[in-house]
Amino acid sequence: MAERRPNPISGENLLFLTDEQLRKGIEAMFFAYRGFTADPDRILEQHGYGRAHHRALHFINRTHGTTVNNLLALLGVTKQSLNRVLRTLIADGLVESRVGRTDRRERNLFLTEEGRKLERALSEAQRERMRSAYRAAGPQAVAGFRQVLEAMMDDEIRHQYASLRDRRS
């Protein structure tokens, strides 16, 4: 009877990753991120925007009517940097800022029709890349990938992500 050897990619062996295996994973994330952002970057460049604009558009779309303070917490940026991005998006007619219904000091943010069009183009480019990668990797890899990403998040960020994930769009 042949000796049973552990599968080199089984979960059991992944608990004992070498520094070289971790380095390869880190490098794969760097290159995957570059690919993930390449298509939206080309679209953003045509409008004179950067990734901060993309993130703002994404989360304003995801959380219709969000407040500036909530967006600050979601993005983890300074008020100054967010204000710069929002001023541009509002001036260009992509985002609308409305006075809060319950608290007039709050500003609620909404995408305009033009903002929704741009956000849709940016998101579709990323969804296509993710869809293709998920199909190639298979359902177990998809679930495992999400588990790895969630495990890498700090607790507070994981909580924010969970509240967004559980929302219905």
Q: Where are the domains of the chain?
A: 36-127, 138-169
Q: Which amino acid type is present at position 159? A: H
Instruction: List Cβ neighbours of 13 (8 Å cut-off, separation of 6 or more).
Output: 6, 7
Give the distance between the most distant pair of CA atoms in the chain: 77
Q: What is the pLDDT of residue 104?
A: 77
Do 44 and 122 touch, CB atoms closer than 8 A?
Answer: yes
Would you give the distance in Å from CA 119 to the centre of its chain? 13
DSSP string, 154-166: -HHHHHHHHHHHT
Helix (H, G, I), strand (E, B) or coil at 86: helix
In DSSP notation, 3-67 reads PPPPPTTSHHHHTT--HHHHHHHHHHHHHHHHHHHHHHHHHHHHHT--HHHHHHHHHHHHTTTEE
> Which residue, among 106, 156, 127, 150, has the nearest Cα to 58 in the 3D structure?
127
Give residue 159's pLDDT. Answer: 86
pLDDT tens across the length of the chain (169 residues): 444 444 445 555 566 789 999 999 999 999 999 999 999 999 999 999 999 999 999 999 999 899 999 999 999 999 999 999 999 999 999 999 998 788 778 899 999 999 999 999 999 999 999 999 999 999 999 999 999 999 999 988 888 888 887 775 5
**pTM higher than 0.95 for the full model?**
no
Residue for token pair 């993710």: 130
> Check: CATH 1.10.1060.10 for 36-127?
no
